[in-house]
Structure 1
Amino acid sequence: MTEYWKSVPKKYCEICKCFYYDNKPSIQKHEQGARHKANVALKLRHVARQGRLRLKEAVETKKIISSMEKEALTSYNKDVKHGYVPKLSSQANVQGFTKKSENIFFYLKHYIIIAV
């Protein structure tokens, strides 16, 4: 009795976007090839660039938020001065509003958790 024909299993490389045989010599040949190494280097550069862009965006967001908080505080103080808004019992509540925003790691930690 003859056996039925069975195709050789293949693997797909996400980095190179190509198929290769799923055996040890083919895997080694592919991973040690110049094309795969170049694509891995490109991928690493891309990931590093994305990280730098996220960090830059987080810093810019922090600056914008801190400037908004400062403007809100000055506007609130102006309103209190003119009697439009009743004064808070403790001015520390309003000034404490900006203390956390001065710590960039507070925003980065939250940004990274949200991004992941």
Structure 2
Amino acid sequence: MTEYWVSQGNKWCDFCKIYISNNPLSIRTHELGQRHKDNVSKKLATMRKESAAKEKQQKEAARALKAIEAKAKQSYQKDLASFERSNDPSAELEPNKKSADEAQSSSATKSGDGVASSSKGGAAPGRVVSTPLNPTRAVKGAPSSIAVNKRKRDDGKAKVISKEEAEALKAREAARKRMEEREKPFMGLYKSY
């Protein structure tokens, strides 16, 4: 059989950024050289500096977080104190009688709504709202500006609409209804049988 010559290739030195011959003698000679030793010591020094800088940055971030948490806790305590001061009229009631807010919150806890009983201290402070804040908004997400009637202005004047504009409005309304019908199953509001 015939033997073929195969190139050994070159080895890349990451520290010196050069190629050297890929044989043990060349590699050992390069690694024992002064240039390689200097480059290794420089690389280790930069790694130490980066590590120290990173550690310092982490300590500063932790210190900043502690300061933020302390300020937040102080602000929370301040808010609680002002809330307690604002509820002083309920403290002026006779001890045997409950205020309407306390009765409502205790009934919400007994009924098992989960709203008032989920807090650690028992009943929720203040009134418990059981109805949605905006009864016209039945689903999550922002309502469209068309549904809210933001685009329509009622000046009290009868607006003259051309025939083309009336057709365009009619086509737009029909397209809106088609899109609404198409997207009903995706909204989870309607069951398809």
TM-score higher than 0.5: yes
Gaps of 5+ in 2: 85-118, 123-193
1:88 Cα deviation after fit: 6.0
Decide which structure has greater helix share.
1
| C-alpha distance in 2 between matches for 1:89 and 1:4 | 84
| C-alpha distance in 1 between matches for 2:46 and 2:25 | 29
| C-alpha distance in 2 between matches for 1:22 and 1:8 | 6
Percentage of matched positions with identical amino acids:
34
RMSD: 2.4
Runs of 4+, deviation exceeding 2 Å: 2-8, 87-90
Deviations 1:69-112 (A, max 9, x none): 0000010001000008xx9629xxxxxxxxxxxxxxxxxxxxxx
Deviations 1:42-78 (A, max 9, x none): 0000111111011100110011000000000010001
| C-alpha distance in 2 between matches for 1:49 and 1:24 | 33
3-state secondary structure, aligned to 1:19: strand
TM (norm. structure 2) is 0.41
Question: Which of 89, 94, 97 lines up with 2:121 in the alignment?
Answer: 89
TM (norm. structure 1) is 0.67
Larger of the two Rg values belongs to structure: 2
1:7 Cα deviation after fit: 3.4
Amino acid at match of 1:79: D
Matches within 5 A, 1:1-116: 6-83=6-83, 89=121
1:9 Cα deviation after fit: 1.7
Gaps of 5+ in 1: 91-116
1:10 Cα deviation after fit: 1.0
| C-alpha distance in 1 between matches for 2:33 and 2:59 | 39
